[in-house]
Amino acid sequence: MKKIFLAICLALAFQAAWAIDLGAAKEQGLVGEANTGYLAAVKAPASAEVQALINDVNAKRKVEFEKTAEKTGATLEQVRARFYELAVQKTAPGHYYQDAGGAWHKK
């Protein structure tokens, strides 16, 4: 029983070590700030690991966008647009953002 537990713990530890985080994904040019306020793959198709990261980040952003819209009385679209503006301003040199037309640019 201890061996099974140890094997599971090791598997989870290695899985976590291999999982890409947002900073690394941006640094590698895999993801960027899309003009929708969400995160998107810079080059499609994204790997399963990168897509899982995108889905996770976007789900969290959606919750925050909805909370902000409810608190401020703004529309969801207005909140997303404002977040996008701020995200582009904060985008680090070498990271990607999408313009209004959908083209990717490296800052």
Model confidence over 85-101: pLDDT tens digits? 999 999 999 999 999 99
- 51-69 pLDDT tens trace: 999 999 999 999 999 999 9
pLDDT surpasses 80 at 42 = yes
Structure tokens of 90? 């904060």
Residue 70 φ/ψ region, left for φ over 0, alpha for ψ in the -120 to 50 degree band, beta for the rest: alpha
Q: pTM here? A: 0.80
Measured in degrees and rounded to the nearest 5, phi and psi for residue 78 equal -65, -40
Q: How far, in Å, CA of 96 to CA of 107, rounded?
A: 6
